[in-house]
Chain A
Amino acid sequence: AQSVTQLGSHVSVSEGALVLLRCNYSSSVPPYLFWYVQYPNQGLQLLLKYTSAATLVKGINGFEAEFKKSETSFHLTKPSAHMSDAAEYFCAVHRSNDYKLSFGAGTTVTVRA
């Protein structure tokens, strides 16, 4: 079954520094991949999604992710962190066998002033 693994349960960055969140997927076919963000006490908000149209996907709030088939990765980046980026980030894959969304364990991002 398709699944995703997020490396690092917690990432701490300085304001203005690069944010890099890692996600690797296991899939024998091109997957549909997503990044969601969850701010404290809120629901999940779609940041971006990979749909095979382009390997570099731009999302909201300055985030982007690059699909690398050779590395089975879909890492999320933002060039310059802002205090408002402090949140929980989930990578997810849509499983084609049972149509379910499979989430990674999540990465908590804290931003230091």
Chain B
Amino acid sequence: DTEVTQTPKHLVMGMTNKKSLKCEQHMGHRAMYWYKQKAKKPPELMFVYSYEKLSINESVPSRFSPECPNSSLLNLHLHALQPEDSALYLCASSQDMIAGVQETQYFGPGTRLLVL
């Protein structure tokens, strides 16, 4: 089973709202990722967690706050977003983040976010 689940599927929020995106995997993977994808563009890496510790932050604005409560869960907390933050937010996981086949990333279906 290579399933990564994400909730909600769609989210509409105002610029003053606080919301959270949730990602879950039960493959025993120890690396989890957040990506942002604009229409007709490839995904852009935002954050990487490895063994529940933040490993990579791609200079993402602080209005995005990731959290990894345990090895199966990854959250992305959103606050005071801008309309340009509207995008598809993808979660992915891999067995590990070292070089080799273990780094094959499996993606969830995404959360489509609209900021008004």
Q: Which of A11-19, A64-72, A102-110 contacts B (4 or more CB under 8 A)?
A: A102-110
| Given the contacts A41-B112, A43-B110, A101-B45, A106 and B40 also touching, CB distance less than 8 Å | yes
| Given the contacts A44-B90, A44-B107, A90 and B101 also touching, CB distance less than 8 Å | no
- In chain A, what residue has the closest Cβ to B98? A99
Interface size on A, residues (CB 8 A): 24
Asked if B66 is at the interface (CB within 8 A of a chain A CB), the reply is no
**Structural contact, A43 and B99, CB atoms closer than 8 A:** no
Give Cα distance in the complex from A30 to B24, angstroms: 32
Asked if A96 is at the interface (CB within 8 A of a chain B CB), the reply is yes
In the complex, which of the residues A43, A44, A88, A101 has the most CB atoms of chain B within 10 Å of its own CB atom?
A: A43
Which size class do B's interface residues fall under? 20 to 34
| Given the contacts A44-B90, A49-B101, A49-B104, A103 and B43 also touching, CB distance less than 8 Å | yes
Using Cβ atoms and an 8 Å threshold, which residues of chain B touch A80? none
Asked if A112 is at the interface (CB within 8 A of a chain B CB), the reply is no
Asked if B42 is at the interface (CB within 8 A of a chain A CB), the reply is yes
| Given the contacts A90-B42, A99-B97, A32 and B106 also touching, CB distance less than 8 Å | no
Using Cβ atoms and an 8 Å threshold, which residues of chain A touch B105? 46, 101
| Given the contacts A32-B100, A44-B90, A100 and B42 also touching, CB distance less than 8 Å | no
Using Cβ atoms and an 8 Å threshold, which residues of chain B touch A98? 56
**A45, A46, A103, A105: the one within 8 Å of B104 (CB):** A46
Give Cα distance in the complex from A45 to B43, angstroms: 13
**A32, A34, A44, A46: the one within 8 Å of B43 (CB):** A44
Q: Mark B1-33, 1 if CB is under 8 A from A, else 0.
A: 010101000000000000000000000000000
Query: Closest CB of chain A to B102's CB: distance in Å?
Result: 10
In the complex, which of the residues B41, B42, B90, B99 has the most CB atoms of chain A within 10 Å of its own CB atom?
A: B42
Using Cβ atoms and an 8 Å threshold, which residues of chain B touch A44? 43, 90, 92, 107
- In chain B, what residue has the closest Cβ to A100? B45
Chain B interface residues toward A at CB < 8 A? 2, 4, 6, 40-43, 45, 48, 56, 90, 92, 97-101, 103-110, 112
